Amino acid sequence: MPALPEEADVLGRLVAWGEACPPIRALILTSSRARSDATVDLLSDYDVIAAVHDPAAFAADGSWPSAYGPPSARWGDQGELYGLTTYFRGVVYEDGVKIDYTLWPDALLERVSEGGALPGMLDVGYRVLLDKDGRTSGWPPPAYRAHIPTRPTQAEYDALVEEFWWSATYVAKSLWRGEVVFTKYVLDHDLKLGPLRRFLEWRIEIDHDWSVRPGMLGRGLERSLPADVWAELAGTYVGMDVEDNWDALFRTTALFRRVATEVGDALGYAYPQHVDDVVTAQLEAVRDLRPGAEPPLG
């Protein structure tokens, strides 16, 4: 892989593009490269907001990403902020640089000033690269509190426990049917990246007084979890063998039971053991069920 350009070079090229392009009124760097907490590395993306006069027309023009360099792969989407439509254009360039552009209507520059608190995509950190009209001058500095989990209520805690055990029944049924691809989706995505990940994040927050911003979809869990908890989580990932996945399911439920109980104890919430007992018995019954019989879970 060729050496990636230095950050200063990438940002310099982006600013030169913005200065030469009349529709662009401001460029703002956000996310990891806008923070000073040493989370950036060689492969970190560049997340850039481009505030333009007519973002719909700008987004429809596929030529402007080439202003930085030759693109090799792209992906697009759209969203909304303060009731105004925004457009996402992610680009991987031939030099290995990945830039995620978000196109804003330039009216959002004032909306942010008027809104008081920064929207999450700015509160994680921002750096103004270009502001032709001085319209970001009223923005408050980032508080770096966006996306930090808050303490769940008893109802939220109970609902997530039940969601975990509800999803676990699909793992058992798909394993009994030999549908391993679907099994992997439910086990590794629905269970682990859903309720289990949330409980693991809450477990981390309890140790850090609800002050840590977790990475997206489990990023950084290796560094944030206690070593023994991480080892248990790592042990839940296996290949495509049916029996290995049965074992992984019960290792996953054991880890969930442990972490959910620890979180509940710290928050003063009772773990719903009855739900655990009933569904665990059903999972074990399906594993013991002879092939071709009617599964007890429907």
pLDDT over threshold 80, residue 257 = yes
- The pLDDT assigned to 212 comes to 85
| Residue 225 contacts residue 204 (beta carbons within 8 Å) | yes
What does the pLDDT average to over 99-111?
Answer: 96
The CATH architecture assigned to 154-288 reads Up-down Bundle (1.20)
pLDDT band at 296 (very low <50, low <70, confident <90, very high): low
For 140, 205, 240, the CA distances from 210, given in Å and listed in that order, are 23, 4, 37
- The pLDDT assigned to 287 comes to 95
pLDDT over threshold 60, residue 38 = no
Q: Can you give the residue ranges of every domain in the chain?
A: 7-131, 154-288
The CATH architecture assigned to 7-131 reads 2-Layer Sandwich (3.30)
Between 223 and 173, residue with greater pLDDT? 173
Q: Give residue 12's identity as a one-letter amino acid code.
A: G
Structure confidence by residue, pLDDT tens digits, 114-142: 877 899 889 989 999 999 999 999 999 99
Structure-block tokens of residue 120: 């999450």
- The pLDDT assigned to 78 comes to 94
CA distance 36 to 50: 22
Query: What value does the mean pLDDT of the chain take?
Result: 92
Structure confidence by residue, pLDDT tens digits, 192-239: 999 999 999 999 999 989 888 887 888 888 888 999 999 999 999 999
Nearest Cα neighbor of 276 from 243, 249, 253 is 253
- The pLDDT assigned to 106 comes to 95
Nearest Cα neighbor of 255 from 187, 158, 209 is 187
Structure confidence by residue, pLDDT tens digits, 81-94: 999 999 999 999 99
Residue recorded with tokens 């019989």: 293
For 61, 109, 275, the CA distances from 138, given in Å and listed in that order, are 31, 9, 52
What does the pLDDT average to over 157-185?
Answer: 97
pLDDT over threshold 90, residue 290 = no
What does the pLDDT average to over 249-254?
Answer: 98
